């Protein structure tokens, strides 16, 4: 269907409106300074004279995203902590008896998980049969059999990696 003249005018008007909107939506240009000690700041926080006095240089050519963060020791949760975890005041300590109980529980849980994973690995290895598992009736096509064998091999490798990770965690716990 050919585009008629009135529709073309409507399209031009829509395009011009979109351009005008995007031009208005762009933020005003902000000057970004890089100051000694890898500190980045903008012209909203420092004047040009203050930046020059501190030895800051202007960064040009590419947009930069500045994310404000708390300086270390400013309170709140430590870096890497879960967002929902409550921060403990630095003067409180865990009772040594309670910590031993926690470590004991952790060790018991990890040892149980290690036994389960070792049993699953043994079952996978029995089924794998040194790379020659029994062919299933649905595997008349040799390629399907090879895919299943490769999947089994990958599952065994993942299980071995899981067991190694559990052993590393157990090694980190006190005896």
Report the chain's mean pLDDT, rounded to a whole number. 78
Residue 15 has pLDDT above 60, yes or no: no
Q: pTM, whole model, 2 decimals?
A: 0.47
Counting Cα atoms < 13 Å in the Cβ hemisphere of 157 gives 7
pLDDT band at 26 (very low <50, low <70, confident <90, very high): very low
Whole-angstrom Cα distance, residue 101 to residue 42?
51
Domain range list for the chain: 29-64, 96-172
Tell me the pLDDT tens digit for each residue of 71-124: 666 555 555 555 555 666 666 788 889 889 999 999 999 999 999 999 999 999
Which residue, among 116, 93, 96, has the nearest Cα to 174 in the 3D structure? 96
Going by C-beta distance under 8 Å and a sequence separation of 6 or more, which residues neighbour residue 160?
A: 121
Percent of the chain past pLDDT 90, that is, above it, reads 30
Whole-angstrom Cα distance, residue 127 to residue 145?
13
Going by C-beta distance under 8 Å and a sequence separation of 6 or more, which residues neighbour residue 173?
A: 103, 106, 107, 110
Contact 64, 33 (CB under 8 A): no
pLDDT of residue 39: 77
């Amino acid at each position: 269907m050919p585009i008629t003249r009135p529709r073309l005018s409507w399209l031009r008007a829509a395009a011009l409106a979109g351009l005008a909107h995007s031009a208005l939506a762009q933020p005003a240009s902000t000057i970004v300074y890089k100051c000694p000690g890898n500190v980045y700041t903008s012209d909203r926080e420092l004047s040009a004279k203050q930046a020059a006095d501190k030895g800051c240089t202007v960064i040009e050519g590419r947009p930069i995203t500045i994310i404000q963060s708390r300086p270390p020791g400013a309170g709140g949760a430590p870096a890497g902590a879960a967002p929902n975890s409550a921060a403990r005041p630095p003067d409180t300590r865990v009772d040594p008896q309670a910590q031993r109980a926690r470590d004991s529980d952790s060790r018991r849980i990890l040892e149980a998980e290690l036994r389960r994973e070792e049993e699953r690995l043994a079952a996978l290895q029995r089924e794998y049969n040194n790379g020659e598992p029994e062919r299933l009736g649905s595997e008349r096509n040799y390629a399907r059999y090879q895919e299943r064998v490769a999947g089994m091999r990958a599952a065994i490798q993942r299980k071995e990696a899981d067991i190694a990770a559990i052993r590393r965690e157990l090694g980190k716990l006190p005896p």
